[in-house]
Chain A
Amino acid sequence: MEEMERDPSTFIMGEDVALSAFGSTRGLIERFGAERVRDTPISEAGFVGAAVGAAMAGMRPICEIEIAPFIYCAFDQIVNQAAKLRYMSGGQARLPITFRTLYGAAGGAAAQHSETVYPHLLPVPGLKIVAPSGPADMKGLLKSAIRDDNPVVVFEHAALGRSREEVPDGDVLVPIGKASVKRAGKDVTVVAIGAMVPRAIAVANRLAADGIEAEVVDPRTLAPLDEQTLLTSLGKTNRMVIVDEAHLHGSAASEIAATMVEKGFDLLDAPIRRVAALDVPIPFSRPLEAAVLPDERRIEEAIRAVIG
């Protein structure tokens, strides 16, 4: 809301943004009206492409894709158009677009509404990808995303909409490309993404009773990755666990692990462990869903394993 007041070229569009079906656009329609808070038909390729065109013509669109797996319907417009057109036009096109979407499992929504989608976009040059772990970072990163002149995809975890914390008032920006140490520790670095951050902190707090001090680092931005902050933490602890809700195969955790091994091999006293979703579609039934997702037990096992 603050950003839409600040810059009249911003506008928001997506399915059911006026009534704020998922709470993220509450109050905007009253303030800015239907011109700038624009309900779209259920036409993901159409309106995502319209965001690309509007950006190329001088606007700063905020484009909501209700639930992240719906992005697949608009993949061409995001991957072939938004991400590539600046480069392919030799630097002519400006594409200041914020894509905003809910990802992840929040209980019983099944695979087409629960997937952690960002690994599909991580290898796409030309996209910035952020995945905040709480409301304060969400606000600060969203502001940065809207002001960024490049396309940014903001992944908000579906379960984090219910989380509560102090959010700084006013114009406080969280820079894109900067990780955050959420809990200091000296024995092991736990890199956690999105909704995995509170989970990792809960485990770390419990392990402190056993004398294990885990440092929890939230990358906040997945592309470009803040390698330096992760390597600094690894230099301190010499051990690393990476927790990612994505499917293990091709996960962000895999890419982070590869980078750490490549650039920080000499810092490692034990192999890196990844904790991620099992490689099956996220199942519907609660016990099945819980079995597939990374939980506190698996995080704790991984931490104890690397500490040995």
Chain B
Amino acid sequence: MDIGKELVLEMYRKMHRIRNFEQKIKDLTTAGEIPGFAHVSIGEEATAVGVCSALRPTDRITSTHRGHGHLIAKGGDVARMMAEIYGKRTGYCKGKGGSMHIADFSLGILGANGIVGGGIPIATGSALAAKLAKTGEVTACFFGDGAANEGTFHESLNLASIWKLPVIYICENNGFGEFTPTAAVTSVKDIAVRAKGYDIPGYVVDGNDVFEVYRHTSEAAARARAGEGPTLLECKTYRWEGHVVGEGAFISGKYRTEEEVARWKARCPIIALEKAVLESGMLKRDELDRVAQQAREEVEAAVQFARQSPLPEPSEANEDLWI
């Protein structure tokens, strides 16, 4: 394997951090402690971590309504994320954004987005800035299969292609847009083939294999830095949980079978990583367990931090609009 032990441990740590964070969000939302909508990404951790592990700290990402995993993978602080989701003043956006709008500009996280497809032109413009200022930075743009049917996706791929922008479009195909199967509303079996229409490279990637995602992203980033333009990666994955926490209370039927969910759970990206590194002898069980335990503790601490943090004062509603 061309990926060193340190990096593998870091990937494992981040995947666990995401898994624990999302599980907490689900539990606390269900318990009524967290307000608002929560879209969790359990089962999709390998895509977020594989992509961000191949980026530099100065590279940028844009994210989506299902963004917690992307942000953690890019280095987001789970305590400040949790506080934001609780609507606390100590959160990343001082309680003004919430789950769907967390940003950390110091880490190159240009923000999650509540508008499906809304981040795609923004990532494209971020890449245009890198090209104009010749910084060598790459922008990775996460979006779902549903967003690939928005006009912004098509307009952005065309722009990035004609201007040869250093951007990587990462379509996380988790099989559904809300409760509609992707196949029922999408003209192509593989969204990656849409790259052809814009004369850019497009690949179907196993989104549950963190190493495969990492390799594809590294290659795409190298092409981008060499001035060769954008790449579309379609990472096939699956969301284990509902579209939104608590959806059972308002949808009037089933949109997928228990067997289908079980089949994908059997392909857990975290267990897949464990198997690969234990079999190759790169890491030992206790090394992995220690990291997993630390990730659990970090998320516990994040919840405590969020609980103990103050809510914003009403007068703060008038702050942060203008520079």
Contacts and interface: CB of A to CB of B under 8 A. Distances in A.
The answer to whether A and B come from one shared complex is yes
Interface of A: 9, 11, 35-36, 38, 40-41, 43, 45-59, 61, 76-77, 80-81, 85-94, 96, 125-126, 149-150
Q: 6 smallest A-B Cβ distances: which pairs?
A: A49-B121, A53-B125, A46-B155, A50-B125, A90-B93, A57-B129
A88 B126 contact: no
A57 to B, nearest CB: 4
B97 A88 contact: yes
A48 B122 CA distance: 9
B319 interface: yes
Contacts of B19: none
B110 interface: yes
Given A11-B132, A56-B126, A47 B105 contact: no
A257 to B, nearest CB: 25
B282 to A, nearest CB: 37
Which of B120, B122, B137 has its CB near the most chain A CB atoms (within 10 A)? B122
Interface in B64-115: 91-97, 101, 103-105, 110-111, 113-115
13 contacts: A41-B158, A46-B124, A46-B156, A46-B159, A49-B125, A53-B124, A55-B125, A57-B130, A57-B137, A86-B321, A86-B323, A90-B95, A92-B104
Contacts of A87: 96, 320-321
A281 B42 CA distance: 50
Contact of B105 (A54, A80, A92, A150): A92
A204 B246 CA distance: 65
B244 interface: no
B156 A49 contact: yes
A144 to B, nearest CB: 14
A19 B265 CA distance: 57
Contacts of A52: 121-122, 125
Given A76-B118, A80-B118, A91 B125 contact: no
Contacts of A80: 114-115, 118
Nearest to B128: A54
A54 B162 contact: no
B146 to A, nearest CB: 15
Contacts of A40: 159
B47 interface: no
A189 B159 CA distance: 49
Nearest to B152: A45
Contact of A54 (B115, B132, B151, B152): B132
Contacts of B114: 80
A58 B152 contact: no
B31 interface: no
A89 B125 contact: no
Nearest to B155: A46
A93 B127 CA distance: 16
Contacts of B236: none
Interface string B240-275: 000000000000000000000000000000000000
A51 B158 CA distance: 15
B132 A59 contact: yes
B133 interface: yes
Given A57-B129, A86-B323, A89-B92, 4 more contacts: A41-B159, A50-B156, A55-B125, A80-B114
Nearest to B97: A88
Which of A45, A59, A90, A126 has its CB near the most chain B CB atoms (within 10 A)? A90
B97 A51 contact: no
Nearest to B323: A149
Contact of A48 (B62, B121, B123, B139): B121
B129 A53 contact: yes
Nearest to B122: A53
B36 to A, nearest CB: 13
Contacts of A50: 121-122, 124-125, 128, 156, 159
B258 to A, nearest CB: 37
A92 B93 contact: yes
